[in-house]
Amino acid sequence: MADNTRHSFKDKWENNPHLALDQTLEEGSDINRWILTRNGFASKAELAAYLATKRRILDAGCGNGRVTALLRSCSPVDHTDIVAFDLVAADVARRNLAGYERIDVREADLLGDLSGLGRFDFIYCQEVLHHTSDPEKAFRNLCSLLEPGGEIAVYVYKQKAPVREFVDDFVRARISGLSYEDAMKTAEQITALGKVLSELRTDVDVPAVEALGIPAGRYDLQRFLYHFFMKCFWNPELSFHDNAVINYEWYHPQLCSRHTVEEIRAWFDRAGLRVLHEHVDFYGITMRGRSG
């Protein structure tokens, strides 16, 4: 992980150790629903049914441990062990998960030697691979830990409309060298824009503009700009500060690759995995596959 990206996430988690923790666990919240539905589960009960037979689960790149907690709450404590690791936030995750049983939190690098972690029935690695210098190598590194018949679920950023890509990279270049405090000032301005647009509650009917990657449709105005022109995240379930941190997380790290569906399918194919589930939205690609 490049120094800028390492420091971006270290600053993010040390300054915001409980970010989105409650919302991730709260069934029906936007964040909980987004995690579940993109992975093919309509509810926590469906995720629990999927995890019921898993003996060892890995949360690779666990951040503050919010999804680790979700996986623990949906898996049998009597026979399922969970390992979670992160390169910069292991201590934060360890504190947040102190009240949970059978969770082992470690510090590790997705591109490093992971053999000491053991083997797993299910590996969850989402919102992480695209922040490494070699996402496919990191993916293959994790696949080497799968038991025969084990499954891995990943989420990576998708290539977006050309204007959105340009603006995102322009802002990223402007703030990537700033301190956390100074970068957050820009993130707060972007967040204020997202909030104002969202509160307009205005839908617009948009004709297709193929040259800009815009399909025809009816869009909420804030989401229209968000999808196709710039990330100005706003979620009313979160505080203004937490929304700003999410915008900071998008713009500050220099390592932030975006991918195509065909590219991620090729990763799975080269790793000898059969794709079981695929979900693509405006923002990212979720894919789950099985070894053997």
Residue 95 amino acid letter: R
According to CATH, the superfamily of the domain at 3-159+258-290 is: Vaccinia Virus protein VP39 (3.40.50.150)
Enter the DSSP assignment of 238: S
Closest of 175, 162, 159, 150 to residue 247, by C-alpha: 175
Q: What is the pLDDT along the chain (292 residues), one digit of tens a residue?
A: 568 999 999 999 999 999 999 999 999 999 999 999 999 999 999 999 999 999 999 999 999 999 999 999 999 999 999 999 999 999 999 999 999 999 999 999 999 999 999 999 999 999 999 999 999 999 999 999 999 999 999 999 999 999 999 999 999 999 999 999 999 999 999 999 999 999 999 999 999 999 999 999 999 999 999 999 999 999 999 999 999 999 999 999 999 999 999 999 999 999 999 999 999 999 999 999 999 8
Whole-model pTM over 0.85: yes
Q: Is 217 helix (H, G, I), strand (E, B) or coil?
A: strand
Residue 106 amino acid letter: R
Cα Rg of the chain (Å, integer): 19
Q: Token digits for 257?
A: 């690759």
Domain ranges of the chain: 3-159+258-290, 162-251
